Each structure stands twice: as C-alpha cells, then as structure tokens.
Amino acid sequence: MIDRIYNAYQGEVYGIAFFTYFSEHYSMLSKNELWDTLINVEVLTAQLLEPTLAKHSVQFDIKDQAMLVKGTSDAKKWIHLEWNELVNTLTHWVEPYEVKYREWAAEATEEMEAFQLIADHETAIYECWKAELNQQSGLPILISFIEKYRQR
C-alpha cells in the first residue's frame, strides 16, 4: 500500500514540473492563475504525503530529477496546443488517474487519510478540467481543495 502512496507522491513532483512549464511558457497569459493554482494543489498534496512516507521510512525528494525532467518533457509536447484542444487533452489524460486513485482509496486498509487525499486531489484536478471544458473556470474547484486541506 505504501508503494501506491509513493507513486502518487512521484506524480505530484511530475505535476509540479508539468504545470510549472505551462505557467512559464503557455501563450495564453490569462491562464497563469490557473497554472499557478494547479502547482499549489500539487505542492500541497506532496507536502501532506511526506509525513506518511517518512513514517514508513520511504525516501522521497520533492526535487526528484527524473520526475521533474519527465514532467517538463511531457509539457513540452503539449505546449503548442490551442486552449480548447489542450483542455480536452488534459481532461482525458487525467480521467483514468482519477478513477484509479478513487479505487485505491476504496481498497485502502491502512493510511486511509493519505489515500483519500490522493483521490480528492485527482478529483479536484479532473473536475477543474471538466469545468474548463465547459467554458467555466476550474479555479473554484482547486481553491476549494486547497482550503479544505491547507488546514491539516
């Protein structure tokens, strides 16, 4: 089970790099607040997972070079996409992770809070992209997640 939490943590590191690249390079400057809020979701989730990993003596690194390089590399593949195509792509890309992390939360027999955090985080990102797909701001969804978990 702890391997799943570590894999999710690695995904946060990847996401930080991915969304940072978009924040710094995407042509639609009006979306910078969205990118920055997505980064904040990833950073907060990673920080909240770290005590669980430490408790199980799992080594972790928020600056894991392999994940940072992978996140940046993948972002470069999509940076050229026009907004609607990008949102559609990201919505479909996130969906299977949202399903998988919900399943993990349901199957968890230990560290249930960590698994719920992982699932809630992915659901927030997925719902954000679905809102953007429907021409609505995804920011309130992300902000709600941050406000819920920042207090912990």
For residue 95, the domain's CATH number is 1.20.1260
The answer to whether residue 54 scores a pLDDT higher than 80 is: yes
Domain that holds residue 73: 2-150
Number of domains in the chain: 1
Cβ count near 31 (within 10 Å): 17
Mean pLDDT to the nearest integer, 120-145: 98
Query: pTM here?
Result: 0.96
How much is the pLDDT for 72?
98
